[in-house]
Structure 1
Amino acid sequence: FKRHDEEMAKLREDMIAGFKRHDEEMAKLREDMIAGFKRHDEILEKHSTELVRLRGSMETTFKRLNERISSLERAMISGLGEMSKFAGMTFEEFVRKFLTGSLRESGEIPEDAELIKAVIDGEEVNIFFEQPLIVGEATGYAESTDEILKLLRKAELVKARYSREPRKILVILSVKRTAAEEIKRIAEEKGVELIIGKIVD
């Protein structure tokens, strides 16, 4: 019995030592995991900061680019107004030619295609193309929202005729300042591509 008791005592000691080593290893593993999570959090925080900075930089760049494009569009449309006089064309005809060239170059219409003037259900449409479906208006001056509302009315007629939503384009050489913001708001809300040459008082 004495020998048995000694063996049991030895076994108990070994088990206690084993549990102690296990606890120490678990504690070490826990410390390593905590340190790992901490490093992971630090890396994530660093990346998040860099992403926020990058996003801010990209937004600023895109904003500047959009401003430059808008400025270029305005200058081009103002120039078109002057050039149309020398070319012996109306502003509407000149815009139609200009947009035709631009859409051909971007591959949005075939190279031999031409934007035309059309009559849809008794309504004259300044700028029209069937495939892809495009409806547009070009006017020298706007002092109210009448021109954009007229375009939207014609777009609805075209939509009813062809059973699909047309691309809508409105080109205005000069807009009265008091009407400009409302025209822009409607254009954004209704998906109208709006190009304004200049805003006047």
Structure 2
Amino acid sequence: MELSDLKSKVFTLLKEDEEFRYAVAGMLGFEEILRRLERHDKRFEEILHRLDRHEVELIKLREDMILGFKRHDEILEKHTQELIKLREDMISGFKRHDEILERHANEIAKLREDMISGFRRHDDVLEKHARELVKLREDMISEFKKHDEILEKHADEIAKLREDMILGFKRHDEILEKHTQELIKLREDMISGFKRHDEILERHANEITKLREDMISGFKRHDEILEKHAQELIKLREDFNVMLKVIGQIQEEQRRISEGQYRLEKRVDSLESAMISGFGEMSKFAGLTFEEFVRKFLSASLKRSGEIPEGAELVKGFINGEEINIFLEDPLIVGEATSYAESSNEIMKLLRKAEIVKAKYSKEPRKMLVILTAKSDAAKEIMKIAKEKGVELVIGKIVD
């Protein structure tokens, strides 16, 4: 049998005879592989079944996720409300900080006045010390002068003694013979006298030495006192320099705070304008006129900032027959609210009404002007006049 025929028969048996095929597969080790493939098929079916369960779980997970997002939306809404309250508290806190910084500025001014007063007291004390030193020098010169006079007197007395001694010697020469015994006595008396003079001069020398030592000691004490004064002046100058540095830091911090406050005020003005514009449009749907809306809005804002009492309310008023859109008697407030401004007439009308109120109440009122929409050119002119006349201005929207 040829090899090709044998191969052909083997292939036919493998294809048609299952028992032969498994026998051959067993000999070749494929039987275990086939069994493993069958087990893998079963595991694959289990995996597909698990995937089906996972798909159900994913659907539930998606539903839970939607519910979770809904809860998060509610929480974020609460956070938004808390942030609004936090902003209001922050504005209130900045106001308190402004008051505290104002008190600090007053305390610094008082501290500066006390420091100047202290320097003046020190100047008076040093002036007294200078006068005392001058008096001490004058007293020392006076004492030296007295000593010079005493020594001058001693010199005169010694000169006179020398003259008397010479005269005595002359007389002794004349009566030398007669008075030999007297000369001996005179010599003894003279020696005794010189001895006494030596003792007196020695005492004078000791007194002069002590006086010199006391003078040196006094100068030394004065040097120590002046050195202490110099050290105190140096420390005082160092403390003053430190204080100047601290004041510089405080001024720099106040400058940064002022800049931050200015930026915050600009943002608040912008936010207030946007709120006026938006709420002005909404007021149409709430059944309110723009004037009524502005009065309620400003009343709530001024109460919240503590600028008007809790029970006060901005109202429409009539003064000397003149209608005023926004009015409050205590504190005195005059204001106007208009939905559209195409010229500066609105602010001029407000200023005219403010003068009428000022004449009646004998004091300057707080002036407010709220404009929902203003033309660009008119807005510029109104802003300029408001800045010059001290009018608090809010423009919701500026159009060309």
Question: What range describes the TM-score normalised by the shorter chain of this pair?
Answer: 0.7 to 0.9
Runs of 4+ in structure 1 over 4 Å off: 104-107
**Amino acid across the alignment from 1:141:** Y
Match of 1:54 in 2: 253
Q: 1:6 to 1:71 in 2, by over 3 A?
A: same
Q: 1:25 to 1:149 in 2, by over 3 A?
A: same
The number of residues matched between the two structures is 200
Match of 1:7 in 2: 206
* The one of 22, 25, 30 aligned to 2:224: 25
Q: Would you say the 8 A contact 1:169–1:193 is kept in 2?
A: yes
SS at match of 1:88: coil
Higher mean C-alpha deviation, range 81-90 or range 33-42: 33-42
**Amino acid across the alignment from 2:231:** D
Distance in 2 of aligned mates of 1:27 and 1:109: 63
Higher mean C-alpha deviation, range 30-39 or range 62-71: 30-39
Identical counterparts, % of pairs: 50
Match of 2:346 in 1: 147
Match of 1:129 in 2: 328
Q: CA deviation at 1:186?
A: 2.3
Give the TM-score taking structure 1 as reference length: 0.83
**Amino acid across the alignment from 2:351:** L
Q: 1:48 to 1:158 in 2, by over 3 A?
A: closer
Q: 1:164 to 1:40 in 2, by over 3 A?
A: closer
Q: 1:1-201 to 2 correspondence within 5 Å?
A: 1-106=200-305, 108-111=308-311, 113-201=312-400
Task: Kindly indicate which of the two structures has a greater share of residues assigned to helix.
Answer: 2
Q: CA deviation at 1:104?
A: 4.4
SS at match of 1:135: strand
Q: CA deviation at 1:194?
A: 1.5
**Amino acid across the alignment from 1:58:** I
Match of 2:189 in 1: none
Q: Would you say the 8 A contact 1:80–1:95 is kept in 2?
A: no
Q: CA deviation at 1:136?
A: 1.4
Give the aligned CA root-mean-square deviation in angstroms.
Answer: 2.5
Q: 1:129 to 1:26 in 2, by over 3 A?
A: closer
Greater length-normalized contact order (CA 8 Å, ≥ 6 residues apart):
1
Higher mean C-alpha deviation, range 75-84 or range 15-24: 15-24
Give CA deviations for 1:29-69 in whole Å, capped at 9, x if unaligned: 24313421331233123213212221222212211221222
Please identify the structure whose Cα radius of gyration is greater.
2
Task: Kindly indicate which of the two structures has a greater share of residues assigned to strand.
Answer: 1
Higher mean C-alpha deviation, range 9-18 or range 114-123: 114-123
Give CA deviations for 1:113-149 in whole Å, capped at 9, x if unaligned: 5433334334322222334433211011223221111
What residue ranges of structure 1 are gaps of 5+ in the alignment?
A: none
Q: 1:43 to 1:90 in 2, by over 3 A?
A: same
Distance in 1 of aligned mates of 2:247 and 2:330: 45
Distance in 1 of aligned mates of 2:390 and 2:291: 21
Distance in 1 of aligned mates of 2:299 and 2:319: 20
Distance in 2 of aligned mates of 1:132 and 1:41: 45
What residue ranges of structure 2 are gaps of 5+ in the alignment?
A: 1-199
Q: Would you say the 8 A contact 1:80–1:91 is kept in 2?
A: no
Q: CA deviation at 1:109?
A: 4.3
Q: 1:33 to 1:156 in 2, by over 3 A?
A: same
Distance in 2 of aligned mates of 1:118 and 1:77: 22
Q: 1:61 to 1:147 in 2, by over 3 A?
A: same
